[in-house]
Amino acid sequence: MSWTTGKRIWIGGILLGVGLGGFLDGILLHQILQWHHMLSSVLPPTTMEAMQTNMLWDGLFHALVWAATLVGVLLVWSGARRAIALPSTGWVIGLMLMGWGLFNLMEGLINHHVLGIHHVRGWGPDPAWDFGFLLSGPLLIGAGWFLARAPDGRAEVRPARPRPQA
């Protein structure tokens, strides 16, 4: 596997994790549990107008994580098509866990702690939930790093299937 191919799959796997982690956050915390919305600490959704604004920003957030997921899929697909040998499933899952952890770390730092535009649960700071979410980032990154590393420190690969002749 060339460096370019490996780099494509590496970045694609991370972006897949960022996108899927963002979808999990948005679908579970914003929509199903309704613990917060993108601007719920700045503009609590107590009126229909405030709720509509929060839903608009939730939608923009989902569009961004959708774009990250799409780019991730395209990079992994393109890297896999160029590969002489394909990365192991554990390696790709590890990359996605690292991306999910990166999402949680950055989203937790920026939105919960620095900007304070929303918090994990409720409309005001809740240190236990906010720090728990933040701590999940390095834990997911560590778990992903563990999975993504083979015993010799490189990605495990298996032979690619031969391409059918046209």
The residues, ordered by sequence, that sit 6+ positions from 155 with a Cβ below 8 Å of its Cβ are 1, 6, 9, 87, 88, 91, 148
Among candidate residues 16, 14, 18, 12, the one with its CA nearest the CA of residue 107: 18
Report the alpha-carbon distance of residue 5 to residue 41 in Å, rounded.
Answer: 43
| Predicted local confidence at residue 122, as pLDDT | 83
In a domain, 34, yes or no: yes
Domain range spanning residue 59?
A: 3-149
- Residue 156 binned pLDDT confidence (cut-offs 50, 70, 90): very low
What does pTM read for this prediction?
A: 0.85
Overall number of domains in the chain: 1
User: pLDDT tens digit string along 89-117?
Assistant: 888 899 999 999 999 999 999 999 999 99
Residue 160 lies in a domain: no
Q: Within a domain: residue 166?
A: no
29-54 mean pLDDT? 95
**135 part of a folded domain:** yes
Helix (H) or strand (E) holding 86: strand 85-87
Mean model confidence pLDDT for the chain: 88
- Examine residue 154 and state whether it is found in any structural domain, yes or no: no
